[in-house]
Amino acid sequence: MVYNSNPNKSCYRGLVPEENIVGKASVILFSNNRNGIRWNRMLKLIK
């Protein structure tokens, strides 16, 4: 899931096709599920 909010461009929110992914994720910035925000996962490094 990607969210882009740039004042000079239009906003985009949604899934990214796998073929468009170039690098690897290193940090979980935000995490939620049906029950709400998953605070214990916020700002966690991905190993």
3-state helix, strand, coil in the chain (%, to 5): 15, 30, 55
pLDDT over 90 at 39, yes or no: yes
Domain of 6 in residue numbering reads as 2-45
Q: What's the maximum distance between 2 C-alpha atoms anywhere in the chain? A: 34
pTM for the model stands at 0.48
Total structural domains within the chain? 1
> Once rounded to an integer, what is the mean pLDDT over residues 16-38?
87
pLDDT band at 2 (very low <50, low <70, confident <90, very high): low
Percent of the chain with pLDDT over 70: 72
